[in-house]
């Protein structure tokens, strides 16, 4: 599973369970405890079934109308001839899309290919780099208009290019790319050795600036 918001991306190897709605969060909000994925179906969205450019495995993707993909799930245990995949296409009356539409959806984009990026000559905040070096549990929250994912893992690999941090656990089941120079980037100490990073959406950043 890959989820991308402006300045923060998370790739996670995961299974999926039952998505459950609760009145407390609104009946349109579905949550899956296994993957940590939350989806608000009250938002308009488009669903795509694409081929992975590396090995043509099917990739289930979701995007807002007229915008790029924000969530994708690679279906490792399926191929295009599988019965369940064909039934899915038939059930939702799937239509083929032009290759140019695929490019406009940012299909196959890298984790650090955001709409806006900080200048590469901008330096990283070494306070967070030092904190990550001592971190035993990193909590990440990625939020888009329709989706939210929370994940926690022990970072084992840390790299940077300009202001962009690359973080992964030992098995590479979690990989995070974070633009620490983005206006909405936030990090905080939750407890000794426990950090949280997130990117606040633009509207909330503007509200915070206005209130300051």
42-87 pLDDT, tens digit per residue, is 888 888 888 887 787 888 899 888 788 899 999 888 888 888 888 8
Determine, yes or no, domain membership for 111: no
Residue from 110, 136, 162 nearest 2 by CA? 110
Q: Give burial (CB, 10 Å; 0-12/13-18/19+) of 1.
A: buried
Percent of the chain with pLDDT over 70: 88
Q: DSSP class of residue 124?
A: P
* Domain extent at residue 153: 126-211
Residue from 105, 108, 117 nearest 177 by CA? 117
Question: What residues contact 10, with CB distance under 8 A and at least 6 apart?
Answer: 2, 3, 4, 140, 142, 149, 151, 174, 175, 176
- The whole-number pLDDT of residue 81 equals 80
| 141 and 180 in a common domain | yes
Determine, yes or no, domain membership for 158: yes
Determine, yes or no, domain membership for 148: yes
- Give me the count of residues in the chain: 212
Residue 122 contacts residue 181 (beta carbons within 8 Å): yes
Determine, yes or no, domain membership for 119: no
Give the CA distances from residue 48 to residues 17, 58, 132, 149, in Å, rounded to whole numbers and listed in that order: 21, 10, 36, 20
| 144 and 86 in a common domain | no
Determine, yes or no, domain membership for 118: no
| 91 and 144 in a common domain | no
Whole-angstrom distance, CA of residue 72 vs CA of residue 77 = 15
| 180 and 99 in a common domain | no
Give how many domains the chain has, as a whole number: 2
| 145 and 91 in a common domain | no
Q: How confident is the model at residue 4 (pLDDT cuts 50, 70, 90)?
A: very high
Mean pLDDT of the chain: 84
Residue 211: pLDDT over 70: no
Q: Among residues 40, 73, 104, which one ends one of the domains?
A: 104
For the stretch 128-175, pLDDT in tens is 888 998 899 999 999 998 999 999 999 999 998 888 999 999 999 999
Determine, yes or no, domain membership for 56: yes
Residue 194: pLDDT over 70: yes
| 99 and 152 in a common domain | no
Determine, yes or no, domain membership for 116: no
| 79 and 137 in a common domain | no
Q: Could you count the other beta carbons within 10 Å of the beta carbon of residue 144?
A: 21
Determine, yes or no, domain membership for 117: no
């Amino acid at each position: 599973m890959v989820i991308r918001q402006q300045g923060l991306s998370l790739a996670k190897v995961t299974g999926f369970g039952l998505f459950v709605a609760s009145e407390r969060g609104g009946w349109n909000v579905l949550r899956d405890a296994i993957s940590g994925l939350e989806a608000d179906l009250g938002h308009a969205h488009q669903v795509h079934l694409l081929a992975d450019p590396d090995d043509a495995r099917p990739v289930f993707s979701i995007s807002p109308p007229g915008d790029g993909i924000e969530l994708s799930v690679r279906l490792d245990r399926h191929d295009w001839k599988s019965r369940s995949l064909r039934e899915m296409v038939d059930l939702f009356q799937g239509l083929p899309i032009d290759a140019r539409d695929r490019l406009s959806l940012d299909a196959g984009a890298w984790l650090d290919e955001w709409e806006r990026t900080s200048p590469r000559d901008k330096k990283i905040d070494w306070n967070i780099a030092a904190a990550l070096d001592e971190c035993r549990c990193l909590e990440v929250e990625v939020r888009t208009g329709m989706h939210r994912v929370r994940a926690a893992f022990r970072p084992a690999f840390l790299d940077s290019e300009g202001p962009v941090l690359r973080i992964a656990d030992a098995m590479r089941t979690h990989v995070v790319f974070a633009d620490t120079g983005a206006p909405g980037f936030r990090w905080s100490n939750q407890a000794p050795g426990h950090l949280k990073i997130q990117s606040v959406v633009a509207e909330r950043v503007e509200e915070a600036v206005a209130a300051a």
